[in-house]
C-alpha cells in the first residue's frame, strides 16, 4: 500500500495493488451505502419515474391547495354560460348547468386520491394478512384461502364491484369499500408466493430455534424481506383503483352529483362529445395523467428495488 503527495500537501488517499497488478482506490472498499440511498440513486436515474414522481407531487399539492387554486366553488353556476368552451373566465369551460369545469377537476383530485389511497390501503392490509397466513402456515389454511381467492377471481371484477355498489348505494365511502374489499386478490397471491420461498431460508429456521412466536417470525423476519413486490404492486394499484372508480362512475354506480368525481364528469360528458368535447377531454386527461404517474413511479420502484440491477 502506498501514499502519494498532492500539490497542496500530503495526500490522504490510499491506494491498494490488486492481484492482477492494477491499482484501485481503497475508498471503493468503504462501507456500503444505506439501502434507501442506493434505491434513490437508481430511482432518480429513471427519467420516466422522475416524471411520474413530479406529476404525483403536483397532484398532491393540487389536492391540498384546491381551495386556493380553484377560482369557483364546485356548485357555483353561471346562468349565462352553459356548455361554453375554455375561456379567460373558465379555463376548462363550463358544464351543462354552468359550473366551472376547471374547479371541478381541481377538487376532483381530492376525491380520486382519497379513493385510490384508501381503497389500496384496505386491499393491501387484507391481502398481506391472508397471503402471509397462507404462505407461512400452508396446509388446510393455505388451501382454504387460495380456493376463496380463486372463486373471487373467477367472477369478473367490475361485475362484482357493480353488484356490491348497487346494494350499498352510491357514495365515495361506498366506492372505497367496494374497491378495497375486492382488490386484495392479486396482492394475496403475491405475498403467499413470497412467503412460500422465504420461509425455507436459514434465518427463519434460526428464529424458530430461538423460540420466537410464529407471528413474530412472519411480520418481523419474513415480511421485511417480502416488501419489494408489495411496494411496487401497491404503487401501481393506486392508479388501477382510480381507473376502476372512473369505470364505476361511468357505469352509474359511483359517487353522485355534485361530487366532482372525474369518472362521473366523463360519464356526464360522453353524450355531448360532438358538441362540447371539453366536458369529456379535461376530466379524462386528468384520469390519464394520474394513472400514468402511478405506473411510472411503480415501474421505477420495481427497477430500483431489484437487487440484480445493483
DSSP label at 29? G
Give the H or E element holding residue 272.
none
Cα torsion for 143, 144, 147, 153, to the nearest 10°? -120
Q: Note whether 25 and 39 are same-domain residues.
A: no
- Please report the pLDDT score of residue 159 as a whole number: 82
- Please report the pLDDT score of residue 147 as a whole number: 92
- Please report the pLDDT score of residue 182 as a whole number: 85
Q: Note whether 24 and 158 are same-domain residues.
A: no
Mean pLDDT in residue range 99-120: 91
List the strands of the sheet with 2-6, edge to edge: 2-6, 9-17, 23-25
Q: Note whether 45 and 125 are same-domain residues.
A: yes
Q: Note whether 9 and 117 are same-domain residues.
A: no
Q: Note whether 70 and 218 are same-domain residues.
A: yes
- Please report the pLDDT score of residue 309 as a whole number: 53
Give Cα 268 to chain centroid, integer Å: 27
Q: Note whether 121 and 9 are same-domain residues.
A: no
- Please report the pLDDT score of residue 35 as a whole number: 64
Residue span of the structural domain in which 21 resides: 1-30
- Please report the pLDDT score of residue 152 as a whole number: 86
CA neighbours closer than 13 Å in the CB half-sphere of residue 297: 20
- Please report the pLDDT score of residue 122 as a whole number: 93
- Please report the pLDDT score of residue 34 as a whole number: 65
Mean pLDDT in residue range 290-301: 89
Number of other CB atoms surrounding residue 107 within 10 Å: 22
Q: Note whether 157 and 286 are same-domain residues.
A: yes
Answer whether residue 306 shows pLDDT above 80: no
Q: Note whether 126 and 270 are same-domain residues.
A: yes
**Grid cell locating 53:** 414522481
Rounded distance between C-alpha atoms, residue 202 and residue 223, angstroms:
15
Q: Note whether 17 and 84 are same-domain residues.
A: no
The pTM assigned to this predicted structure is 0.80
Q: Note whether 248 and 229 are same-domain residues.
A: yes
Answer whether residue 45 shows pLDDT above 90: no
Mean pLDDT in residue range 132-137: 88
Counted domains in the chain: 2
Number of other CB atoms surrounding residue 181 within 10 Å: 16
Q: Note whether 90 and 2 are same-domain residues.
A: no
- Please report the pLDDT score of residue 33 as a whole number: 58
- Please report the pLDDT score of residue 289 as a whole number: 92
DSSP label at 32? P
Mean pLDDT in residue range 164-190: 85
Amino acid at each position: 500500500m502506498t501514499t502519494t503527495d498532492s500539490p497542496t500537501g500530503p495526500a490522504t488517499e490510499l491506494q491498494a495493488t490488486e492481484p492482477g497488478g492494477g491499482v484501485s482506490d481503497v475508498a471503493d472498499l468503504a462501507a456500503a451505502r444505506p439501502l434507501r440511498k442506493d434505491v434513490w440513486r437508481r430511482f432518480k436515474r429513471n427519467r420516466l419515474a422522475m416524471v411520474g414522481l413530479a406529476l404525483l407531487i403536483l397532484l398532491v399539492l393540487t389536492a391540498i391547495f384546491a381551495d386556493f387554486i380553484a377560482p369557483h366553488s364546485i356548485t357555483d353556476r353561471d346562468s349565462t354560460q352553459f356548455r361554453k368552451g375554455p375561456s379567460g373566465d373558465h379555463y376548462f369551460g363550463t358544464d351543462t348547468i354552468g359550473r366551472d369545469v376547471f374547479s371541478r377537476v381541481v377538487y376532483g383530485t381530492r376525491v380520486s386520491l382519497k379513493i385510490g389511497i384508501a381503497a389500496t390501503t384496505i386491499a393491501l392490509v387484507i391481502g398481506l394478512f391472508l397471503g402471509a397466513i397462507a404462505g407461512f402456515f400452508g396446509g388446510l389454511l393455505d388451501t382454504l384461502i387460495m380456493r376463496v381467492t380463486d372463486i373471487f377471481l373467477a367472477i369478473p371484477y367490475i361485475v362484482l364491484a357493480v353488484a356490491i355498489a348497487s346494494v350499498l348505494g352510491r357514495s365515495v365511502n361506498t366506492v372505497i369499500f367496494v374497491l378495497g374489499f375486492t382488490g386484495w386478490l392479486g396482492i394475496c397471491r403475491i405475498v403467499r408466493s413470497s412467503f412460500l420461498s422465504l420461509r425455507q431460508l436459514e434465518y427463519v429456521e434460526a428464529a424458530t430455534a430461538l423460540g420466537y412466536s410464529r407471528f413474530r417470525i412472519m411480520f418481523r423476519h419474513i415480511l421485511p424481506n417480502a416488501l419489494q413486490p408489495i411496494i411496487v404492486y401497491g404503487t401501481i394499484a393506486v392508479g388501477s383503483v382510480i381507473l376502476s372508480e372512473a369505470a364505476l362512475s361511468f357505469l352509474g354506480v359511483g359517487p353522485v352529483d355534485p361530487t366532482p368525481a372525474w369518472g362521473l364528469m366523463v360519464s356526464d360528458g360522453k353524450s355531448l362529445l360532438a358538441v362540447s368535447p371539453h366536458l369529456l377531454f379535461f376530466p379524462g386527461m386528468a384520469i390519464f395523467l394520474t394513472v400514468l404517474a402511478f405506473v411510472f413511479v411503480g415501474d421505477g420502484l420495481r427497477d430500483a428495488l431489484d437487487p440484480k440491477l445493483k
